[in-house]
Amino acid sequence: MIPEDVRQEIMRRLAAAEQEHGVRILLAVESGSRAWGFASPNSDYDVRFIYAHPPAWYMAVDLEEKRDVIEYPIVDDIDLNGWDVRKALRLFWKSNPAFVEWIQSPIIYIERGSFRERARDALPQVYNGEHGLYHYRSMAKTNYRGYLRAEQVPLKKYFYALRPLLSVRWIERYRTAAPIEFHKLLHLLDDRPELLRDIGALLEKKRAAPELGLADPVPSLNAFIEEELVRLDHPAIPRFERGSVTARLNALFHAVLDEEKQPSSA
């Protein structure tokens, strides 16, 4: 949950961004550990948004030279930045993992028009599971090798290895983009009750403590992570059938611009 005073401040900053840049936010969500479901009480608020300019902005010879991101420094633990809708859809075309997670976030600050609904509807057709598999494998490998093989380890980094590895298992089993909430992935370990017990114990500590700091490694988690990384050195890539992706994304983009021509109801 987002504390009400924090939510109000986030909404104030989003409104100020719209005013400052002359844009309309289509979707604003929480990303990162709070959306994943294993935030510490003092975790940052990772606010991400997709915005649109008035339609005429896109009808320009110098469109490619125009800035298509809005970024702000972190102030009071609020990290706020966003992408122009055209940039976002071009990244969606490449199965960008950040965009795929944003449209699935369970914590929504702003949702206007049909953008999020249309993007989620397009996800099964657009998503390239091979890209997702390699992204999550790389994320798990980086966090494990960088933080979890020492005599003392930052326990929170286990979740930055476990979530991507379970996301890979989801992609392999269901051939769809993985949900971003950690708890929705845990059934993939139903055959490993002792491992689930150790993950649950660590999750309780993570949610309760401001920062877990350094501690002894958890042998069962290290063994599982190592096992999965070895297996994924030569993954069996599931086949994904993608239809006319660009046509679907162009239709979504045009729908957004058509909505921007209409009087605002928000």
pLDDT digits (tens, 9 = 90+) for 212-223: 778 899 999 999
Question: Could you read off the pLDDT of 17-47 as tens digits, one per residue?
Answer: 999 999 999 999 999 999 999 998 889 999 9
In a shared domain, residues 20 and 42: yes
Asked if residue 4 lies in contact with residue 91, where contact means CB atoms within 8 angstroms, the answer is: no
Q: What is the pLDDT of residue 265?
A: 47
- 180 found inside a domain: yes
In a shared domain, residues 87 and 29: yes
Is the pLDDT assigned to residue 266 strictly greater than 70?
A: no
Q: What is the pLDDT of residue 244?
A: 77
- 136 found inside a domain: yes
Question: Could you read off the pLDDT of 103-162 as tens digits, one per residue?
Answer: 999 999 999 999 999 999 999 999 999 999 999 999 999 999 999 999 999 988 999 999
In a shared domain, residues 82 and 135: no
Mean pLDDT, the chain, rounded, equals 93
In a shared domain, residues 10 and 108: yes
Comparing 22-31, 55-64, 182-191, 237-246, the range with the smallest average pLDDT is 237-246
In a shared domain, residues 49 and 178: no
In a shared domain, residues 154 and 100: no
3-state helix, strand, coil in the chain (%, to 5): 55, 15, 30
| Residue recorded with tokens 């800035």 | 67
Q: What is the pLDDT of residue 234?
A: 81
- 237 found inside a domain: no
> What type of residue is 57?
W
Give the number of residues written for the chain: 266
Is the pLDDT assigned to residue 211 strictly greater than 80?
A: no
In a shared domain, residues 172 and 206: yes
Domain interval for residue 75: 4-123+242-261
Structural domains counted in the chain: 2
**Which residues sit opposite 31 in a β-bridge?**
46
In a shared domain, residues 108 and 42: yes
Domain CATH for 12: 3.30.460
CA 112 to chain centroid, in Å, comes to 19
Q: What is the pLDDT of residue 242?
A: 66
- 156 found inside a domain: yes
Question: Could you read off the pLDDT of 138-149 as tens digits, one per residue?
Answer: 999 999 999 999
In a shared domain, residues 62 and 34: yes
Banded model confidence at residue 207, pLDDT cuts 50, 70, 90: confident
> What b/e string do you get for 58-85 counting C-beta neighbours within 10 Å, with b at 16 or more?
beeeeeeeeebebeeeeeeebbbbbbbb
